[in-house]
A and B are shown apart, each in its own frame.
Chain A
Amino acid sequence: MTTTLSVENLRVSIPLSAGVLHAVRGISFEVAKGETLCLVGESGCGKSLTSLALMNLLPSRAKRDADRIEFDGTDLLGVGERGMARMRGNSMAMIFQEPMTSLNPAYTIGNQLEEGIRLHKGVSAREARERAVYLLEKVGITAAASRLTQYPHQLSGGLRQRVMIAMALMCGPDLLICDEPTTALDVTIQAQILHLIKDLQREFDMAVILITHDLGVVARVADRVAVMYAGEIIESGDVAEIFSRPTHPYTQGLLNCIPVPGKTRHGERLGTIPGIVPSMIGEMAGCAFANRCSYAQDICQQHVETHTVAPNHAVRCVRAEQVRTVAAGSLA
C-alpha cells in the first residue's frame, strides 16, 4: 500500500493571555491510499486543529510545527502558502462539522461547486457543470441539475453536507479530511452520510481521515484508529485490534462508555471516566491521563514513549504490558 500522508511530530500551539496552549503535542501518523484513519477523542482534544494544520488553514495566531508532513511524496513544510493553495481543494480536500454555515449564502450551489475545479483544473464552464451534476448524483442528490441554481438556504442540513462532500470531490482528491461530518446531523442522516463517505472512498480510492468523538462511527468506517487525548495520540492501531484489545486505560474507558448490542442491558448506566481533562496550557510532564487513571503510579509522572505492543498496535503508556494482562484477565 502506498502512503498518501505521513505526519511526524506535529505540534500546534496558540499563545493565549494565560500562557501558550499546546493543543496538539507532537503527534505522528500515516494514512495509506484507500484507507480510512479515524482520529477519535473527546471534544477539545485537538482533532480539528490537527486537521486544519494538515491543510495549513489554522487560525492566524496558531503556530504549526512538525518534523515532517509528507503528502503524495511532497514535503508540505517546504511548499509555502502558494504551493499549499494549489493542493487545497485539489489533491487534498476537507469537509467540516458545520454544514449549515459552511456554504456561502450569497452564491448558488453550482457556483460554489464549480469555482474550485475551474481554478485548479482549468476546465470550461460546461465541463465544470457536468462534473458538478455527476457528483451531486453520486452523493445521492435528486434533480441534481436543478440544484445547481439553488441557494444554500434552500437546502436542509443533510443536503448541504452532501453538497460539501460533492464539492470536496470535485477535483478528485487523494486525501479527504472529514472533521466530524455527521455530528451536526440527525441520527438517520448520520448513517447515510457515513455510508456515502465509505462508498465514495472505495470508488475513488482515496485516503480518508475521519475525525469523530463517536466510537460507534469508528467501528463502522475505520480501517485504523488513532485515539487522541489532550493533544496526544495515546493509542493507535488496526480497528479490530483496538476494539478487541484496547490497551491504554483511556481507550478502555472510552469503550466502556459505548453501549454494546446484546451486552449492554436496556436502561443500564454506561461507564464514565472520572476526573477532568488537564489544562493544555504550558508543558506537560509525564502521562496526560495519569490524574484520571486507575492504573497510575509514580512512574507515570515521567516522560512516556509510544511503544508497540502488537503488530500494528502502538500505545503511549508506561504500564501498557501490565494493563494488557489485567485487561485480558478481566475479559476471560
Chain B
Amino acid sequence: MLIYTAKRILLAILVSLTVSALVFSLLYLSGDPATALAGERANEADILAIKAAYGFDQPVYVQYFKWLAGAVQGEFGNSVYFRLPVIDLITERLPVTMTLGVCAMAFALLLSIPLGVLAAMYPNSLIDRAALLLAVLGQALPSFWFALMLIVVFAYWFPILPASGSDSWEHFVLPTIVLGYYATPAFMRLTRTGLLDVLSSDYVRTARAKGLRPAKVLFKHALRNAIIPVVSLAAVQFGFMLTGSIIIETVFALHGAGFLAWESISRSDFPTVQAVLLLFSWFYIILTFLADLLNAWLNPRIRVA
C-alpha cells in the first residue's frame, strides 16, 4: 500500500506540472497579452510599460516558473479588473462552489445508487425502465435549458425557490439539482451493470449458500464490489461538476468561483482565469488521487500494484 501510494503521488505531481504548463500557455493562445491588456488606444510605449510591469519581456520559461512558484504558494498576482490579489477573490468565492459541488455530488449519489440497486435487483421491471428513462433524459437535456426550465417552474410559476443569488440555502437547491442530475445517469448505470454482474458472480452464490440474509448478501458481498467503479467515476464527475459550475453558477448568478471564471473570461482578466483553472485542475488531480487510494482500500487486489 505504501509503494502504491508513493507511485500515485509521483504520478499526480507529474500530471499537475503538465496541466500547469497548459494553463499557463492559455495566456498566449489569444495573441499577445500585453497588447490585449493595454487596450485599443494604447501606443507602443504603453505596451512596453505593461510588458515590463507584468514581466512579459522576460523569456516565456522564466515567466512560467515565476508564475508556478507563486502559484504553489497561493500567489497568483493581482486581478487586472478588480486590482485585488487573485487569491483573495478566489478564497472568497470558493466556499460557494464547494458547497454547490458537494451538494450536487450528494444529490447525484443519493439518487443514483438506490435507483441503480433497484434496477439491478429487478432487471427489466417497471422501476428499471423508469430509471433508464431518467438516464436517457439526463443525457439528452442541455444543462442550461434544464436550469431555465427549473427556474420557470419553481421560481416563476410556483415561486417557492429563488432564481438567482447565493445568500441562503434555498439559493442552492435548484443549482444542486441541475448540476447533480447530470452525474446521475452515469452513476446509476454503472451501479446497475456492476451490481448485475456481481449478483451473478460465484462469490455471491457462495454467500447465499452460507445462508446469509438477502440484505447482507446485497450490501456486504455484492454492493461493495459493484461500487468500486462508481467511486472512481465520482472523482472524475466531481471534476466535471467544477467545470459545470461555471455554467450553472452563471445561470443562477451564484457567486462562486465558476461565476468568477466566467466573469473574468469576459473581462480578459487572465491572472484570475489562470488561477481558477489551475486550482480547479489541481483539485481534480487530488480527487483522482484520493479516489485511487479509496479504491485500493476497497479492492485489496489493487494494493500490490
Chain B residues near A112 (CB, 8 Å)? 206
**A88, A101, A105, A153, most chain B CB atoms within 10 A:** A105
- Return the contact of B300 from the options A88, A89, A106, A116 (Cβ within 8 A): A106
In the complex, the answer to whether A103 meets B206 with C-beta atoms within 8 Å is yes
In the complex, the answer to whether B212 meets A116 with C-beta atoms within 8 Å is yes
In the complex the two chains form, what is the Cα distance from A93 to B207 in whole Å?
Answer: 11
Chain B residues near A89 (CB, 8 Å)? 209-212
Chain B 254-295 per-residue mask, 1 if CB under 8 angstroms from chain A, else 0: 000000000000000000000000000000000000000000
Interface residue? A289 (CB, 8 A)? no
Interface residue? B8 (CB, 8 A)? no
In the complex the two chains form, what is the Cα distance from A57 to B225 in whole Å?
Answer: 21
Q: Which residue on B lies nearest to A88, using beta carbons?
A: B211
Q: A101-B201, A102-B203, A104-B203 are in contact. Are A167 and B210 (CB under 8 A)?
A: yes
* Least Cβ–Cβ distance between A162 and chain B, in angstroms: 14
In the complex, the answer to whether B203 meets A103 with C-beta atoms within 8 Å is yes
Chain B residues near A120 (CB, 8 Å)? 211
Chain A residues near B207 (CB, 8 Å)? 104
Interface residue? A90 (CB, 8 A)? yes
Q: Which residue on A lies nearest to B206, using beta carbons?
A: A102
Q: A85-B213, A120-B211 are in contact. Are A104 and B221 (CB under 8 A)?
A: yes
Chain A residues near B203 (CB, 8 Å)? 101-105
Q: A105-B299, A151-B300, A153-B300 are in contact. Are A57 and B209 (CB under 8 A)?
A: yes
Chain A residues near B212 (CB, 8 Å)? 85, 89, 115-116, 119
In the complex, the answer to whether B211 meets A153 with C-beta atoms within 8 Å is no
Interface residue? A94 (CB, 8 A)? yes
Interface residue? A71 (CB, 8 A)? no
In the complex the two chains form, what is the Cα distance from A114 to B224 in whole Å?
Answer: 18
Chain A residues near B225 (CB, 8 Å)? 104-106
Interface residue? A27 (CB, 8 A)? no
- Return the contact of A96 from the options B202, B224, B300 (Cβ within 8 A): B202
Interface residue? B129 (CB, 8 A)? no
Interface residue? A70 (CB, 8 A)? no
Chain B residues near A164 (CB, 8 Å)? 206
In the complex, the answer to whether A106 meets B209 with C-beta atoms within 8 Å is no
Q: Which residue on B lies nearest to A96, using beta carbons?
A: B202
Interface residue? B66 (CB, 8 A)? no
In the complex the two chains form, what is the Cα distance from A262 to B298 in whole Å?
Answer: 55
- State which residues 8-47 of A face B: CB under 8 Å: none
Interface residue? B205 (CB, 8 A)? yes
* Least Cβ–Cβ distance between A48 and chain B, in angstroms: 11
Interface residue? B51 (CB, 8 A)? no
Chain B residues near A86 (CB, 8 Å)? 211
* Least Cβ–Cβ distance between A304 and chain B, in angstroms: 34
Interface residue? B93 (CB, 8 A)? no
Interface residue? B171 (CB, 8 A)? no
In the complex, the answer to whether A85 meets B300 with C-beta atoms within 8 Å is no
Chain B residues near A96 (CB, 8 Å)? 202, 205-206, 209
Interface residue? B301 (CB, 8 A)? yes
**B211, B216, B221, B299, most chain A CB atoms within 10 A:** B211
Q: A151-B301, A153-B300 are in contact. Are A104 and B209 (CB under 8 A)?
A: no
* Least Cβ–Cβ distance between A86 and chain B, in angstroms: 6
In the complex, the answer to whether B301 meets A101 with C-beta atoms within 8 Å is no
- Return the contact of B209 from the options A88, A115, A151, A153 (Cβ within 8 A): A88
Q: Which residue on A lies nearest to B201, using beta carbons?
A: A101
In the complex, the answer to whether A57 meets B208 with C-beta atoms within 8 Å is yes
Q: Which residue on A lies nearest to B221, using beta carbons?
A: A104
* Least Cβ–Cβ distance between A12 and chain B, in angstroms: 16
In the complex, the answer to whether B300 meets A93 with C-beta atoms within 8 Å is no
Chain A residues near B298 (CB, 8 Å)? 106
Q: A96-B205, A102-B206 are in contact. Are A116 and B211 (CB under 8 A)?
A: yes
In the complex, the answer to whether A102 meets B211 with C-beta atoms within 8 Å is no
- Return the contact of A106 from the options B202, B211, B213, B299 (Cβ within 8 A): B299
In the complex the two chains form, what is the Cα distance from A87 to B210 in whole Å?
Answer: 9
Q: Which residue on A lies nearest to B225, using beta carbons?
A: A106
- Return the contact of B208 from the options A88, A105, A119 (Cβ within 8 A): A88
In the complex the two chains form, what is the Cα distance from A153 to B208 in whole Å?
Answer: 21
In the complex, the answer to whether B209 meets A87 with C-beta atoms within 8 Å is no
In the complex the two chains form, what is the Cα distance from A73 to B39 in whole Å?
Answer: 95
- State which residues 64-113 of A face B: CB under 8 Å: 84-90, 93-94, 96, 98, 101-107, 112
In the complex the two chains form, what is the Cα distance from A55 to B209 in whole Å?
Answer: 7
* Least Cβ–Cβ distance between A67 and chain B, in angstroms: 25
Q: Which residue on A lies nearest to B210, using beta carbons?
A: A89
In the complex the two chains form, what is the Cα distance from A306 to B201 in whole Å?
Answer: 37
In the complex the two chains form, what is the Cα distance from A84 to B214 in whole Å?
Answer: 12
In the complex, the answer to whether A106 meets B224 with C-beta atoms within 8 Å is yes
Q: Give me 4 other A-B pairs in contact (C-beta within 8 A), A96-B206, A104-B207 excluded.
A: A85-B213, A87-B211, A89-B210, A115-B216
Q: List 18 A-B contacts (CB under 8 A).
A: A85-B211, A87-B211, A93-B209, A94-B209, A96-B205, A96-B206, A103-B206, A104-B221, A106-B298, A107-B221, A116-B210, A116-B212, A119-B211, A119-B213, A119-B216, A151-B301, A153-B300, A153-B301
Which 6 A-B pairs rank lowest in CB-CB distance, beginning with the nearest? A89-B210, A88-B211, A89-B211, A101-B202, A116-B210, A104-B203
